[in-house]
């Protein structure tokens, strides 16, 4: 038995990655591990080792973004909004690369 998707990596919605990561779990990582090994138990272990690090990285990043996005203090919000504007599209690209697991 193993877990895929939201049940093993429950994440905040801030990166829009819940379903994406569930698909990566089942359709890519689990499918690859099962295809590469005859022993199902070994395949599930391979999947869990491979996936936990990456999925947890996304879970933590999504939580961090959500925490900052929900600031209530008007002064902090103004600083945050100005910083996001100043970072520009390069920051979005870096975030996308991080999410996709692509080296910069
Ligand atoms: C408003 C909203 C917007 C979202 N937007 C995005 C987005 O833009 N991008 C993105 O990647 N993700 C998004 N998500 C997150 C995404 O929907 C979830 O992370 C994803 O659906 C998780 O998939 P899952 O298969 O792990 O779980 P689920 O989709 O929850 O599927 C679990 C299934 O198991 C069934 N089930 C539960 N218990 C039992 C049982 N005992 N026996 C049999 N069946 C059972 C349920 O009925 C359900 O069909 C959004 C979520 C919400 C709510």
Complete DSSP assignment for 32-63 = HHHHH-S-HHHHHHHHHHHHHHHHHHHHHHHH
The residues near 43 (Cβ < 8 Å, ≥ 6 apart) are 30, 33, 34, 36, 37
Atom of ligand 1 nearest to the CA of 25: 26
Q: Are 46 and 36 in contact (CB under 8 A)?
A: yes
Q: Could you tell me the distance, in angstroms and rounded to a whole number, from the CA of residue 36 to the centre of ligand 1? A: 28
CB of 3 within 6 A of ligand 1: the answer is no
For residues 83 and 78, give the distance between their C-alpha atoms in angstroms, rounded to a whole number: 8
What would the pLDDT profile of 47-72 be if each residue is shown by its tens digit? 999 898 889 999 999 999 999 999 99
Ligand 1 atom, smallest distance to 19 CA: 11
Residue 75 alpha carbon to ligand 1 centre in Å: 36
Confirm whether pTM is higher than 0.85.
yes
Tell me the domain boundaries of the chain.
16-70, 72-104
pLDDT for position 19: 95
């Amino acid at each position: 038995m193993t877990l895929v998707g939201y049940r093993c990596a429950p994440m905040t919605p801030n990166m829009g990655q819940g379903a994406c990561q569930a698909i990566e779990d089942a359709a890519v990582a689990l499918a690859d591990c099962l295809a590469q090994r005859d022993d199902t138990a070994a395949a599930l272990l391979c999947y869990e080792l491979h996936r936990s690090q990456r999925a947890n990285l996304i879970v933590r990043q999504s939580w961090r973004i959500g925490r900052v996005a929900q600031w209530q203090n008007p002064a902090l919000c103004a600083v945050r909004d100005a910083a996001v504007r100043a970072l520009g599209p390069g920051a979005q690209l870096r975030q996308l690369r991080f999410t996709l697991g692509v080296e910069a």
